[in-house]
Chain A
Amino acid sequence: MAGYLLRRALMMIPVLLGTTLVIYAAVYALPGNPVQSLAGANNVVPPSVAHAIEAKYHLDQPFFVQYWDYLSALLHGDFGVDLNGNSVASIISVGWPVTVRLALTTWVLEGVVGIALGLLAAVRRGKTIDVAILAGTTAVLGVPYFITAYVAQIVLGVKLGWLPVSGVTAGWPLSYIVPAGCLALFGLPEISRLTRASVLDNLRADYVDTAVAKGLAPRRILVRHVLRNSLIPVVSMLGVNLGYLLGGTILIEGIFNLPGLGYQIYHGINQHNGPLVVGISTLLVLAFLLVNLIVDVLYGVLDPRIRLA
């Protein structure tokens, strides 16, 4: 196990390097004029000011020099200063809790509701409730979640006034319920369908026949044996999902005005704010890789058949 963890940790390094290089290069290659953006899009930039701006942000260096400077600073934990003069580390430290709360709330929602629905559909297979859940989750799959977000915002927040629809001033959980709910709709159908399929698979397994023959109560069989085995692939999918959630909050944070990392990164891309975009992306990649590592370990713990080679 220790060897496996070490190898995985080492493998993360080239991945991190690769991702930072690609993102840095992409932001660098964006059309537009960062000097003009920094000075103000409508402003005239005399050569003296242009030179001063370039010197201040090291924009006059060749690409690889800029990348190297950035990388070395990053290795010291210095995320640098973005093109507005703000410390990227402090922007991240303010935005990170919001995104984490949103992602975790979404994750728990889609996990709990998804598994519950999937389980219900599986044990009542073929009955109305199964069909209803299947139809419901399939219908949700088709509607884009940003549409749902807008509609929910108008209906729940403005017309009915039940829940806040903008900003995080109402704190957790109130400010996060509607956004997390909308975002959860994206992953919920998959979780529920996978749970159902997995439970159905396991219900057919030999050990269940054995348990029934032994005279165990159905509920006990379900909870102690079937569920635990069925959840293995679901946990794996949930894990992958969390990683995607961290990066995929852009739309939801924008619509609900939550000042998280997704919001910052989108704003940063629009402003061609290289250091900010790269800094946040690096962090997201790191988080994603860590989450996957944890999921793999958990997978091994849950399923003794899988001995990580």
Chain B
Amino acid sequence: MSRLALGLPLALALVTALVAPNRAAAQDGLADWSEPTNPESSERFALELRVGPYTPDTGDAAFDAVFGGSSLLFAAEFDVVPFRIRDVLTLGVGVGIGFSSYSGVANAPDGTPTSEKTSLSIVPMNVMAVLRVVALPRLLRIPLLLTGKIGADFVYWSSSTGDAQEGEGISPGLRWAVQAALELDFFEPRAARALDDEWGINHSFLFFEIYGSSAGGSSLPVGSPLAWSAGLGFNF
């Protein structure tokens, strides 16, 4: 967990450093980086691709004993943004899906390890309201987006041992998230404009998100009260 927890923010910082242009280029584009790059290209959707460590809070010691901790959770989210207050905020609906898998050693009934593997796979699916504050970059020219999300989480889980499935189910729950994102347009305004002209992508951003899920109910608790992820997003 600790290595992952340190590694991804560092990787994020590295990517940010790599995409940063020279000073002259930044100054060239400083005057207009936060303006709508193409008045004809409206922003209706957002796509986020993210990865981060995830450990389901199963409420038992067996998870750590068998699987040894966290694993990476890969996820994607697609937002539709039908409502907006121009240059202030947007309100939309997002649907997301992810995947993570955990593997460990199965024991014999007497507790001795066998050579058979036991695994747990989870597929979190969620639908959330997404409120994104765009006033900082649009009005104050600070390339920071703040986003809040809340909605329903449905996590499909499946556990198997050897070649046999041990159990499966869907754990529902509440999901929330808070996100801070750095708009990349600031670093390469011309490239951002070209991206809009050619692909209709208005803005791209790197983000860091903290989220939680109470997925469980009467099924296996596979939510986590607090987790984080980082990734790349696009508005188009």
> A and B bound?
no
